[in-house]
Structure 1
Amino acid sequence: MLSFENVGLRYGVGPETLRDVSFSVAPRSFQFLTGPSGAGKTSLMRLIIMALKPTRGLISVFGRDTATLAKDEITEMRRQIGVVFQDFRLLDHLTVYENVALPLRVLGREEASYRAEVSELLKWVGLGERRHCAPSVLSGGEKQRASIARALISQPRLLLADEPTGNVDPTLARRILRLFVELHKSGTAVIIATHDLSLMDQYEEARRLVLADGRLHIFE
């Protein structure tokens, strides 16, 4: 599903942010990506969604070499990847419900076909009563939950979550983790970038990818 082979990434003329990174992610797998601040976790995720190009090495997503993809092919590939960003990236002119439903609208689905599933997911993440609100009136934790719901609604083949529990309380963090685990058991590969050791300890079956000094260490 996903593989990195001797990938390096450099910004400008400075030292490499990532050096000789090699790993693969299988379908239906679950992994935590961790490491100190500045280790390159977000950069690695941006490489996966093709928002960055590696300085060297090979990245393959869904069996395709990302270096060979045309712009429209990249767009199509990204539709199969759910992403939970640290900065939420909700659209202020849309309601919470409309933000979460947006990936399904982009796929061309009629609202009648997805209204119930969007509403159910919003209830599950505790936003059922906030569905008609604008993002501007939400708390940080509520924005985080809306971002998570939007990433999950299309049941992506691969889910990337960058610090998805950073703005929620421990009880909700456990619920969110359970949702990610259920998603992965239904067939989605999951990568969660986090500093939260207690979160990782709640799902010890997950593989741990640890970035340190630009290099990746894998603990099965």
Structure 2
Amino acid sequence: MIRFENVGLRYGMGPEVLRDLTFSIEPQSFQFLTGPSGAGKTSLLRLLFLSMRPTRGLISVFGKDTTKLAKAELPSMRRRIGVVFQDFRLLDHLTTYENVALPHRVAGKSESEYRPDVIDLLKWVGLGDRMHVLPPVLSGGEKQRAAIARALITRPEVLLADEPTGNVDPPLARRLLRLFIELNRLGTSVVIATHDFHLLEQIEARHLILNDGRLAVHV
């Protein structure tokens, strides 16, 4: 589904922040991305989401060489990838419900098609009573859950999550992990970047370990 071959990334004229990355994300796989702060996890997620191009090497996504993709092709590719950013990226003028429903609205679906799914998912992540609240009123943990729901609502082929349990308590973190596991069972490949060692112990999964820009894979 996603393949990296000898990928390197640098910002401007600085040193490489990622180097010689060779690995693959298989269909219906589940993996944690770990490593110390500054190791390059967020940069790697950006490459996976196609929001950046590598300085060198090959990245293939859904069978296509991303270095040869035209800019016009990127949006349709990204729609197959769900992503949860650390800064949430919720739109403050839209309610929680509207933020989560936004991917369906952008895709041109009618509200009657997606409304039941949006409501059910918001209830599942504990935001059933916060559907009509604007993001500035939400707590950090509530914003985190809304961002997760928005990423999951379209049942993406790949889900990328950057510290998705960083602002929630342990019981909710376990509940969200169960949601990721269920999504994986339905066919979505999941990549979770996390520092939460308790989360890592909850499921047997492959570990992609970044350290000083290099990657080790532990199964």
Return the alpha-carbon distance in structure 1 between the equivalents of residues 80 and 108 of structure 2: 14
* Identity of matched residues, %: 70
- Report the 3-state secondary structure (helix = DSSP H, G, I; strand = E; otherwise coil) of the residue aligned with 2:121: helix
For 2:71, give the aligned amino acid: K
- Report the 3-state secondary structure (helix = DSSP H, G, I; strand = E; otherwise coil) of the residue aligned with 2:129: helix
**Cα offsets for 1:55-102 (capped at 9, x unmatched):** 100001111111111122100000010000000000011000000000
- Report the 3-state secondary structure (helix = DSSP H, G, I; strand = E; otherwise coil) of the residue aligned with 2:195: coil
- How many angstroms does 1:195 deviate by? 0.6
Q: In the alignment, is residue 165 of structure 1 matched against residue 161 of structure 2? A: no
- How many angstroms does 1:200 deviate by? 0.7
Return the alpha-carbon distance in structure 2 between the equivalents of residues 161 and 2 of structure 1: 16
Instruction: After the TM superposition, list the runs of 4 or more consecutive aligned residues in structure 1 that deviate by more than 6 angstroms.
Output: none
**Corresponding residue of 1:211:** 210
**Corresponding residue of 1:125:** 125
**Corresponding residue of 1:39:** 39
For 1:112, give the aligned amino acid: S
How does 1:58-207 map onto structure 2 within 5 Å? 58-204=58-204, 206-207=205-206
Return the alpha-carbon distance in structure 2 between the equivalents of residues 62 and 201 of structure 1: 30
- Report the 3-state secondary structure (helix = DSSP H, G, I; strand = E; otherwise coil) of the residue aligned with 2:120: helix
Return the alpha-carbon distance in structure 1 between the equivalents of residues 6 and 71 of structure 2: 24
Return the alpha-carbon distance in structure 1 between the equivalents of residues 71 and 102 of structure 2: 21
Q: What TM-score results when the alignment is normalised by the length of structure 1? A: 0.99
**Corresponding residue of 1:4:** 4
| Number of aligned residues | 219
Return the alpha-carbon distance in structure 2 between the equivalents of residues 151 and 192 of structure 1: 13
- How many angstroms does 1:35 deviate by? 0.1
Q: What TM-score results when the alignment is normalised by the length of structure 2? A: 0.99
For structure 2, list consecutive stretches of 5 or more residues without a partner in the other structure. none
For structure 1, list consecutive stretches of 5 or more residues without a partner in the other structure. none
Return the alpha-carbon distance in structure 2 between the equivalents of residues 49 and 177 of structure 1: 21
- Report the 3-state secondary structure (helix = DSSP H, G, I; strand = E; otherwise coil) of the residue aligned with 2:149: helix
Alignment RMSD = 0.6
